[in-house]
């Protein structure tokens, strides 16, 4: 239930950060200004006794986030990929949150598997190990199928995880509502819609049948990608709380020493990680949205193996083109075109000045491109871009949240492999290739062909649609409170009908 009682959860959060010593560590990591530090300590100290002390054997930040629960752990996982934001030491500490959390017992896991598959564990698996990895939502066991002898990974949800996430998400909704109430200017960022978007993502992650389906679709999209592997879903052994896949054998991508010892080229791997993500996002519109080191391995042949498909991102073709044009514009330092794309997509209100917006974008881009290659960051660009778009009234684009967040995570992973990587140079060939394929003459012909196919399906219904629109128009004109905008509906439909024939002819010829 979303209500004032969630204040208690937010107080607990501040109190736990203070009690575990994480408050100072976090403020130091983000280089918080003095006024914010003073305010945080003054507000946190009186409630310190209400916080959870966590596990004293772990570093303060890990101790606090683990004590606060899965939603906070997810936040820590993201920060663990950004040493440029929180520092190398903090990033190294937070990496524990990716797959080394306290596990639940193998007895509990087996009970859940039996209940889900409605079959005794021993008849399905002739070997079922202790947990080999434990994350915020589930843990993984290594097992062997009794009927084939194949080694597999069995993922099992944590007991009570749904309730735990619901509690935190409700508190986040309450906090978002309070922010909107106390700071009206924040409403353009649509904080409640942002929370709703992530709620949908997280709740989908809590049904492992959906994750299995996501893995299957992702595999179909990427089967021709060189240097990339995915484990195979074992559908007969999957359910809502259990998922079984082939075992992914490799070196963890977060272990640079092991990668070097295995003879892999970290520079090549760093470029591959970034380019694979951009290909999946731009080419397919379907991408792994949780690409931290805990979900990636390097196979013996140098291929990157991805797993854990609980969070996948989708963006439609139009949004992909907008995103690619914005990236391409920044790569070419064509700030006028970047500004125009924002206006064309409706990201910036039409009453703003495009030339002024272009100059503001130049103020964002030029300092970044003037940096040494090792300091060029898409993460910093997104942060600066956010500041500029705020001035020009741009609202939060919920459909881009996962894309932007994953871009930041992937950049962090790539830089952990090669700190000297030039992000823009590596991204350029992928973005340029997509631009050629999606915005050139062939793309126009393809778009017209697809539009014609859609119109052809609706062709037999166009007379009825036009007639219904005309009737509504007549009713609107007879109404004592006419609404002039409705009058355009019929003409729009008539225009669409006339344009259909032209579009169909052009597409056919193309």
Rounded to whole angstroms, how far apart are CA atoms 200 and 214? 15
* Eight-class DSSP state of 100: B
Asked whether the beta carbons of 423 and 274 are under 8 A apart, the reply is: yes
Q: Using H for helix, E for strand and C for coil, what is the string for 391-423?
A: HCCCCCCHHHHHHHHHHHHHHHHHHHHCCCCCH
What is the SS3 assignment for 46?
A: helix
Q: Which of 93, 204, 199, 205 is nearest to 138 (CA)?
A: 205
Residue matched to tokens 């564990």: 121
The two three-digit tokens of residue 103, written as one number: 């596990």
Q: Which of 438, 435, 347 is nearest to 398 (CA)?
A: 347
Rounded to whole angstroms, how far apart are CA atoms 150 and 246? 8
Report the length, in residues, of the chain: 510
Alpha-helical segments (H) within 345-377: 354-369
Region of 390 (left: φ > 0; alpha: ψ -120 to 50; beta: rest) is: alpha
* Eight-class DSSP state of 146: T
Identify any residues that bridge with 505 across adjacent strands, giving them in sequence order: none
**Active site (annotated) includes residue 351:** no
What is the SS3 assignment for 136?
A: coil
Phi, psi of 148 (to 5 degrees): -120, -20
Rounded to whole angstroms, how far apart are CA atoms 47 and 12? 8
Rounded to whole angstroms, how far apart are CA atoms 203 and 398? 17
Q: Which of the following is catalytic: 84, 290, 308, 418? A: 290
Asked whether the beta carbons of 67 and 20 are under 8 A apart, the reply is: yes
List active site positions: 290
């Amino acid at each position: 239930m979303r209500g004032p009682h969630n204040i208690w959860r937010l107080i607990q959060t501040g109190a736990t950060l203070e009690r575990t010593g994480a408050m100072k560590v976090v403020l130091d990591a983000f280089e918080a200004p003095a006024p914010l530090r003073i305010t945080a300590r003054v507000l946190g100290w009186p409630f310190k006794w209400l916080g959870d002390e966590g596990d004293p054997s772990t570093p303060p930040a890990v101790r606090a986030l683990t004590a606060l629960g899965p939603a906070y752990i997810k936040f820590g996982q993201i920060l663990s990929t950004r040493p440029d934001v929180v520092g190398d030491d903090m990033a190294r500490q937070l990496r524990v949150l990716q797959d080394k959390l306290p596990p639940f017992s193998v007895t509990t896991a087996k009970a859940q598997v039996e209940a889900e598959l409605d079959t005794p564990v021993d008849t399905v698996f002739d070997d079922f190990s202790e947990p080999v990895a434990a994350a915020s939502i589930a843990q993984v066991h290594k097992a062997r199928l009794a009927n084939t002898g194949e080694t597999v990974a069995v993922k099992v949800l944590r007991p009570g995880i749904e309730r735990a996430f619901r509690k935190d998400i409700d508190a986040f909704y309450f906090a978002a509502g309070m922010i909107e109430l106390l700071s009206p200017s924040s409403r353009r960022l649509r904080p409640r819609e942002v929370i709703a978007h992530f709620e949908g993502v997280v709740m989908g992650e809590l049904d492992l049948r959906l994750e299995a389906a996501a893995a299957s679709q992702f595999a179909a999209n990427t089967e021709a990608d060189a240097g990339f592997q995915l484990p195979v879903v074992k559908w007969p052994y999957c359910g809502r709380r259990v998922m079984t896949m082939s075992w992914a054998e490799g070196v963890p991508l977060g272990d640079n020493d092991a990668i070097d010892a295995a003879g892999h080229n970290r520079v090549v791997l760093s470029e591959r990680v970034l380019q694979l993500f951009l290909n999946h996002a731009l080419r397919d519109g379907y991408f792994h949205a949780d690409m931290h080191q805990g979900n990636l391995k390097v196979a013996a042949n140098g291929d990157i193996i991805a797993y854990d498909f609980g969070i996948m991102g989708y963006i439609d073709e139009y949004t992909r083109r907008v995103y690619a044009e914005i990236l391409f514009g920044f790569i070419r330092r064509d700030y006028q075109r970047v500004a125009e794309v924002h206006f064309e997509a409706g990201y910036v209100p039409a009453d703003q000045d495009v030339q002024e917006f272009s100059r503001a974008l130049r103020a964002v881009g030029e300092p970044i491109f003037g940096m040494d290659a090792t300091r060029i960051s898409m993460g910093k660009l997104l942060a600066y871009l956010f500041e500029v778009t705020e001035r020009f009234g741009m609202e939060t684009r919920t459909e881009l949240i996962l894309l932007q967040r994953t871009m930041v995570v992937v950049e962090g992973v790539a830089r952990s492999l090669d700190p000297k990587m030039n992000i823009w140079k590596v991204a350029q060939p992928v973005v340029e290739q997509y631009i050629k394929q999606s915005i050139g003459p062939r793309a126009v012909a393809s778009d017209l062909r697809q539009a014609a196919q859609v119109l052809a399906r609706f062709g037999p219904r166009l007379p009825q649609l036009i007639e219904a629109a005309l009737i509504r128009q007549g009713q609107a004109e007879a109404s004592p409170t006419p609404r002039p905008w409705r009058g355009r509906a019929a003409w729009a439909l008539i225009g669409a009908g006339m344009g259909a024939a032209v579009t169909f002819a052009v597409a056919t010829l193309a």
